[in-house]
Amino acid sequence: MPIHQPQQRTDVHPGRTGVQQAEAALVEHYPRLVRLAYVVLPPALGRHRRVLAAHAVVQRALPAAGDRARSPRVPAQSHRSGAPVDAEPAPEGAGPDRGPSGAAYGWMRLRVLRTALAHERRPRWWPGRLPAPAALRPAVPVVWGLRLFPRAGGVDELTLDRALSTVPGAVRAAFALQLLEGLDESGARDLLAGAGVADPAGAVRRAARLGMPDRAGAQAMLRSGEFDPCTVQTRPSDLLRRRHRVRAVAAAAALCVVAGGLVVAVGEGTRPTGDDRNPAVAAVPALDPAGLLRTAAERWADTSRVDFTAWPARGGRTGDGELLGRALRAWSGPPDSVRVTTAPGTVVAPPVEPPRLLFAGEVDGAAVVLFHDSGDRVVRYAEPLSGSGGAALDFARTDDANVTTGAAVVVSRTGDSARFLLAPWIEESTTRDLLAPGTPARPLAVGPDGVTAPAPRPAANGACDSWPVLQLRSSGKIVEKHAFLVTDLGDLAPAHLTYTPKPGRGAPARQPREATGGEALLAWARTACSLRTLSGSGVRAVNNWAFAEQKLPEGGASAGWLCTRADTWRGPGRVLVHFLEPAGSPTDPAAVVADRDDTALCSRFGQHVLAGTHWKAPSGRWYVLAAGSRAVTRIEATGAVRGAAGGPTFAVRAPRDAAVELTASLRGGETLAAVR
């Protein structure tokens, strides 16, 4: 559904030539400016709100005709940098930065850029989605009853969008200015500096790493429908909820009429003071307990979207308006007495639309409330039932959660145990220890409200002598006999654990599978303790990929190579490469030989890997060992030791501390460097 461009104004005073040219530039290049704003705005807003915010940013960029302080002086600007200067307009020429309206376009672009970047600098307590000065004017555009989404792109566009969501707005702006606006690095730096970016050079450097090595492909993706907020698809909002709201508004209007009559009859009366009423909160419908979304109890069994939106409201205090009101007010602006924790990359701004109520009840001496926000966040509020302790507010991202990553949420942690609220589709819950792969899972009791009995959780410090996990099984209404593992890594949502077995001879590449089989449990028994390094980093899922098996020198047994990849909710991944030499115990920890942050290695977007390590044979001799994934056809060592071998594994005699560079040749002719 195209969003029509605003019609050109006709009421501008003839003397305000600068405003007229700015308006002409806005109308002429409206889709281009809106796309720029859409890319720069925080993806955490959600696609619907980002579409509306992009149009609002551009439409509000035009100053009023009589506003001399913000009206352009017909500025000219450098084509290279886009920085406005007080000079005559640039001469006629090609491109939006030249011609009679070119200088005005550059001026409008700078205003759009400033406003879009200000979204990430707004105060945490500000209820609107625009900076304070702009938010005082009427919001445009306004859409009722519809959700707007740009046209869906392919896997590459989705990957680029997720990559952009992991970097600050200044980096997104630098990326867009170069690929959408055609500015060089110097021009992008100058324009970012004019927009108030603290480190424009750093933003340009980070932007250069996005979309590499195929910049042309990244440019095409950025110009695709995935990033076009002017051509959108529509879906209705919650129709039943809207009907209930209309009835509630009608009832509230009738009550207001009655209350107004009583006020006139008895006088002004007593006005609320202090904290009895917060005008800022009362003015935001999303913070009204009566407006909370509630899902029907059996909705999960009759929907294709099996995630947090299918969770019903559970717990003994779902009807406690006072508790829900305190939780929402704490969310809107936490006082100093409330302890706030945030998973990396999670927005803590108040909700713009009514959140969904997942749980409200009493757990382990605290009143706990769980919300799910339309911006793909889960928020937990907890206040003690007795004593002088303060309340707690926890935020976590839950983008694109599914049957497994949306299966449980932590409601309480006490000592070395935790309680979880399970998804309504979980039919069976057990616990097991990853460091005891041969021990059967133990049943875990679950209450009528979906809250589990206390389950052991991994110790944060000390010896790693156990690693408890939950083994859950989905209802047959969702998928038949689907069991999976999740583990508590310190965030609200536990991480999903999977396993990819070693490649077969001549067989297609394996896909990740649930880590409940014997081979998967043995692999996790040797790598579970490395999960400690991922605690509190917002991990969504962790996969163990057995990418190679190697025969050791001097007639030794076989060793294994594992790539442990942790994917976060915000997009970036971390990779640990493990070397599993023969061990006397199935739980002897594997050696970590490589550790890489912010990488696509060992994922569907990084399917090739090469790693190496020094190894001491039983004879006392030292070797350099290396192994690659199934597409590796040759491995070569240079540096202190030289050698080469065909195939995916390699071994050469070398001193203990020899500095060796490893490279591999792939089946398609590409070259691969070893991960460090």
Mind listing the pLDDT tens digit for each residue in 605-653? 899 999 999 999 999 999 999 999 999 999 999 999 999 999 999 999 9
Strand partners, 102: none
Q: Are 393 and 371 in contact (CB under 8 A)?
A: no
DSSP element (H, E) containing 664:
strand 660-666
Reported as a single tens digit per residue, the pLDDT across 151-165 is 766 667 777 877 888
Q: Are 172 and 136 in contact (CB under 8 A)?
A: no
Strands 632-639 and 377-384: unpaired
- What is the structure's pLDDT at 588? 94
What average pLDDT does range 187-203 have in this prediction? 88
Q: What 3-state class would DSSP assign to 32?
A: helix
Single-letter code of the amino acid located at 400:
D
SS (H, E, C) 596-644: EECCCCCECCECCCEEEEEEECCCCCEEEEEEECCCEEEEEEEECCCEE
User: Please, what is the average pLDDT of the chain?
Assistant: 81
Note the Cα 268 to chain centre separation in Å: 50
Reported as a single tens digit per residue, the pLDDT across 398-449 is 988 999 999 999 999 998 999 999 999 999 999 999 999 999 999 999 999 9
- What is the structure's pLDDT at 148? 78
Which has the minimum average pLDDT: 94-98, 271-275, 448-452?
271-275
Angle ∠(662,664,668) on CA atoms, nearest 5? 165
- pLDDT band of residue 133 (cuts 50, 70, 90) is very low
Single-letter code of the amino acid located at 125:
W
- What is the structure's pLDDT at 244? 53
Single-letter code of the amino acid located at 504:
G
Both tokens of residue 400? 């694109």
- What is the structure's pLDDT at 28? 84
- pLDDT band of residue 18 (cuts 50, 70, 90) is low
Q: What 3-state class would DSSP assign to 485?
A: strand
- What is the structure's pLDDT at 3? 44
Cβ-based neighbour number of residue 224 at 10 Å: 16
Place of tokens 């009429």: 257
DSSP element (H, E) containing 189:
helix 185-194
Dihedral Cα 159, 163, 164, 167, nearest 10 deg:
170
DSSP element (H, E) containing 362:
strand 356-363
- What is the structure's pLDDT at 282? 43
Alpha helix ranges (H) inside 277-320: 279-282
Alpha helix ranges (H) inside 345-425: none
50: nearest Cα among 143, 158, 145: 143
DSSP element (H, E) containing 472:
strand 468-474
Which has the minimum average pLDDT: 24-33, 305-314, 569-578, 622-631?
24-33
Crossing angle (nearest 10°) for helices 102-118 and 17-28? 70
Q: What 3-state class would DSSP assign to 561?
A: strand
- pLDDT band of residue 548 (cuts 50, 70, 90) is very high
- Please list, in sequence order, all residues whose beta carbon lies within 8 angstroms of the beta carbon of residue 376, skipping any fewer than 6 positions away: 44, 46, 397, 398, 399, 400, 401
Q: Are 225 and 150 in contact (CB under 8 A)?
A: yes
Question: What is the Cα–Cα distance from 661 to 637, expressed in whole angstroms?
Answer: 6
Note the Cα 367 to chain centre separation in Å: 28
Using the predicted structure, report yes or no on whether residue 572 has a pLDDT greater than 90: no
Reported as a single tens digit per residue, the pLDDT across 333-386 is 888 889 999 998 888 888 888 999 999 999 999 999 999 997 689 999 999 998
- What is the structure's pLDDT at 274? 33
Both tokens of residue 136? 């005082």
**523-to-436, 562, 579, 601 alpha-carbon distances in Å:** 12, 8, 11, 19
Reported as a single tens digit per residue, the pLDDT across 26-41 is 888 899 999 999 999 9
57: nearest Cα among 45, 41, 81: 41
- Higher per-residue pLDDT: 515 or 304: 515
Strands 495-500 and 539-551: parallel
Question: What is the Cα–Cα distance from 612 to 66, expressed in whole angstroms?
Answer: 69
- Tell the burial category of 294 from Cβ atoms under 10 Å away from its Cβ (0-12, 13-18, 19+): middle
- pLDDT band of residue 49 (cuts 50, 70, 90) is confident
- Beta-carbon-side half-sphere exposure of residue 203 (alpha carbons within 13 Å): 28
Place of tokens 């969770």: 311
- What is the structure's pLDDT at 124? 42
Both tokens of residue 452? 């589990």
- pLDDT band of residue 601 (cuts 50, 70, 90) is very high
- Tell the burial category of 84 from Cβ atoms under 10 Å away from its Cβ (0-12, 13-18, 19+): buried
